[in-house]
Amino acid sequence: MREIGIYVHIPFCKSKCLYCDFTSYTNKNTEIRRYVNCLKKEINYRSKDEYLVKTIFFGGGTPSIIDAKYIVEILNEIKNAYIVDKNVEITIEINPGTINKSKLEKYKEAGINRISIGLQSSKINLLKEIGRIHTYEDFEDTVKLAKEVGFTNINVDIMIGIPNQTIYDVEDTLDKILALDLTHISVYSLIYEDGTLMTKMIDDGNLDEVDEEIERYMYWYAKRRLEDNGFIHYEISNFAKPSYRCKHNLDCWCQKEYLGFGVAAASYIDNFRMKNTDSLEKYINNINNDKFYKNLTIEEKQTIDDQMKEFVILRLRMMEGFRASDFTAKFNKDVYKVFENQIGKLLEEDLIFAEEFGYLRLTKKGLDLANIVWGEFI
């Protein structure tokens, strides 16, 4: 059987964060029922007996904003349409202020076994700066409720490089979340994406970016604090307690196949990268008119060359890197010959290093300049 992951996009939000460039909609509560019905149809339409589902991930948007019964319906549809591994990892993203004990209980009863909470910062002034509508206290209450219900696999997202953020703010956030005994922490650098309100504010001179050196100091401070507290730094932005790495993301970084359901959801099957329409209206109308194919756009048919480049980029995101023998096993080629010039240049510039056991990894300098490393393979 072909092992796959499943991603389900729930595009609804209470409000749009200033930095967010994901496809999401506010004030669309009347569309939720119709959207869920269409998701269920798409899930059935694209099912195949040969698929074995290893991971399921509900992202958004804010999945926790909709009634828990809809999440349960979607999960049941997946379980009816696909063969789901008995040890499947099922993650749902939740935002503080959109959750209660009843919802969490229904998630757990439905088989969800991992939750990911978007905190970003413990400081209310910084949360307001980026358009978040919760408080740290809301987050802490969410964690306590999740633990009461029996969730043991809990991730929290925090952000560095927020305008007006200081190293002391990062220290405060880490002090507080480390006291909660969580199993996974993601540390993301704020990226100013084109078309977002935050980027417009910066372009208009109404907001100042954090100095890059300060942002890097925040990153290395967070890395040290987390590792000192028993977290394994396994991917550029991700830290986990032993045996709590995110399986869904690991599979994506290892180029495993996945199906994406819902507005703007991406899929990777048979070396094709595909994406659903960004339009909620088009998505619903096409499915209700049995024109599922009109929602999907093929963005890329990967050649072997594409796959080899992507292999290197994605594997170097992980702190363990990859062995030359892994590359050979997958492509029947020698990575040092295929990318002789790129690897030679990156080794010379101390952006990657080769270990005696055959691993290629990012150096400390390479972690700070990862985009330059990726650029050599694009």
25: which strand partners? 12
**What superfamily does domain 2-252 belong to in CATH?**
Aldolase class I (3.20.20.70)
The residue length of the chain stands at 378
pTM to 2 decimals?
0.95
Model confidence at 18, pLDDT cuts 50, 70, 90, reads confident
Domain with CATH 3.20.20.70 in the chain: 2-252
CA pair distance 260, 274, nearest whole angstrom: 9
Give the C-alpha separation, 183 to 155, whole Å. 6
**In which residue ranges of the chain is CATH 1.10.10.10 found?**
304-375
Pairing between strand 2-10 and 114-120? unpaired
Q: Looking at the domain 304-375, which fold is it?
A: Arc Repressor Mutant, subunit A (1.10.10)
CB-based contact 221:167 (threshold 8 Å)? yes
Strands 184-189 and 154-160, bridge-based pairing: parallel
* Tens-place pLDDT, residues 67-123: 999 999 999 999 999 999 999 999 999 999 999 999 999 999 999 999 999 999 999
Which of 8-12, 128-132, 174-178, 251-255 is predicted least confidently?
128-132
Q: What is the mean pLDDT of the chain?
A: 95
pLDDT of residue 20 exceeding 80, the answer is no
pLDDT of 270-296, one tens digit each?
999 999 999 999 999 999 999 999 999
Lowest model confidence (mean pLDDT) among 6-15, 167-176, 196-205, 220-229: 196-205
Classify 27 as helix, strand or coil: coil
| 189 Cβ neighbours under 8 A, 6+ residues apart | 159, 160, 161, 215, 219, 237
Residue with tokens 């072997």: 304
Q: Given this model, what pLDDT does residue 49 score?
A: 82
- Rg of the chain, C-alpha, whole Å: 21
pLDDT at residue 302 in the model? 97
| pLDDT given at position 205 | 83
| Peptide bond between residue 61 and the one before it cis (omega within 30 degrees of 0) | yes
Q: Rounded CA gap, 252 and 258, in Å?
A: 8
- Burial level of 343, CB count in 10 A (0-12/13-18/19+)? buried
**Residues 302-335: tens digit of each pLDDT:** 999 999 999 999 999 999 999 999 999 999 999 9
